[in-house]
Chain A
Amino acid sequence: MKNLLALLFIIALAALLLYVAANMPPMGDPDNPTATHVIPRYLEGAEKETHTENVITGIILNYRGYDTMGEVTVIFSALAAVLAVLGRERRGRIHAYVDRSTVPSSVIVRTMVRFLVPLIVLFSVYTILHGEISPGGGFQGGAIIGGSMIVFTTIFGLYESSRRIPQKVRFPLEGSAVVTFFLVGVLGMVGGGNFLTYAWPRVAAGLQPALVTWLTVLVEIGIGLGGAMVLTSILFCMIREEEEIAVVA
């Protein structure tokens, strides 16, 4: 009965939304409102103003730098909240309960994962460092590292994978995204501009393009490392809880 009511409500909502979709401007039309107002300005000016060939990276890190700084704060606070709820993983107890994954895996899977994970990490380094001239960037690279850690942990278990990235390495790096962003912002003030200015007025004009590019790459590296470590830490504390449940129940 309740589900039938929900279904009726969803069908009404779907009809309404499809009616809206049928009356929206045609998709892909160059004269759409979404493609006309500020977009040409961004596309034309981004290369000159942000010195990044990838317009999206220019928008994320330069035009909307405050927004992205808030975003890295959000992902850091998510980690803080997860740690407050679950607590950090403790290796002694993990070692006592299980030191291998519960997923049975064949030799082929183990060998291939051992072979592939370094290559995945290499690809993520490429994604992070080339974020300003090709598709990619800090968040994407960090997510790729996190994904490779998920694959590795699924096959080899928490004990092995938390030995690869020990807690004393993760602990200082988790906040690196926020810290890098904030330091670059403050350095912009030292350089004579406003907070989060990449082009510093006190530096000679000839050095400006290189300076902007390197600061962008620096922020990308910080975001990539921080995102990867945050994802890995969240994964590890969730796995500890799961194995604790499995053992007690």
Chain B
Amino acid sequence: MRLLHNYHYAAAMLLFCIGLYTVIARRNIIKKLIGLNIMETSVFFFYISLGYLDGGIAPIRTGGADPARMVNPIPQALILTGIVVAVSVTALALSLVILLYRQYGTLDVDRLYRDEDGGTHGGPSGEDAP
């Protein structure tokens, strides 16, 4: 069966679904970010698996390695870019989360919405919050 042979792809897609469910269902923003990172990881995993070759070797030509047996180098180069962008996005998102927590004193999305609707907000610096 093709699905059992492509188990890398299947695992990456299940991981993507787990991450997406975390983003949708969890109310804590940090957990949403963890879900986002799981989704990113699943995409990287899927992409690297696309370049896999049965019995392949690393695409490094030291010692006269045979180019015909090397795995696909393009996904690896692309995913290096992707990882750096993912780290940058995560860093920026986390710093915004820190700012939110300082302003509202909570990471719960529902409570943040309630605060936005004109409720009273407590928290560490609630008095100077907008």
- Does A34 sit within 8 A of B, measured CB to CB? yes
The answer on a CB contact under 8 Å between A55 and B21 is no
Residue of A nearest to B16 (CB): A17
Q: How many chain A residues have a CB neighbour from B under 8 Å?
A: 65
* Given contact pairs A14-B17, A35-B53, A44-B67, A6 touches B24 in the complex (Cβ within 8 A): yes
The answer on a CB contact under 8 Å between A71 and B85 is yes
Nearest CB of B to A20, in Å: 8
In Å, the complex CA distance between A4 and B55 comes to: 43
* CB-CB contacts below 8 Å: A204-249 with B: 227, 231, 234, 237-238, 241-242, 245, 248-249
The answer on a CB contact under 8 Å between A56 and B59 is yes
The answer on a CB contact under 8 Å between A7 and B21 is yes
Residues of A within 8 A of B74 (CB): 38-39, 42, 59
Contact of B62 among A22, A29, A53, A77 (CB under 8 A): A53
The answer on a CB contact under 8 Å between A53 and B61 is yes
Residues of A within 8 A of B25 (CB): 2-3, 6-7
21 interchain pairs (CB within 8 A)?
A: A6-B24, A6-B25, A10-B21, A14-B13, A18-B3, A21-B13, A22-B2, A27-B8, A53-B60, A54-B60, A55-B70, A56-B60, A60-B77, A68-B81, A75-B88, A78-B87, A85-B95, A133-B60, A135-B60, A143-B87, A237-B95
Q: Interface on B for A, CB 8 Å cutoff?
A: 1-3, 5-6, 8-10, 13-14, 16-17, 20-21, 24-25, 49-54, 56, 58-62, 67-68, 70, 72-77, 80-81, 83-85, 87-89, 91-92, 94-96, 98-99, 101-102, 105, 124-125
In the complex, besides A34-B75, A35-B51, 11 extra interface pairs with C-beta distance below 8 angstroms are A18-B10, A22-B2, A24-B6, A28-B53, A34-B51, A46-B61, A53-B61, A54-B60, A56-B60, A56-B80, A234-B91
Sorted from nearest, which 4 A-B pairs have the closest CB atoms?
A78-B88, A28-B54, A17-B13, A22-B3
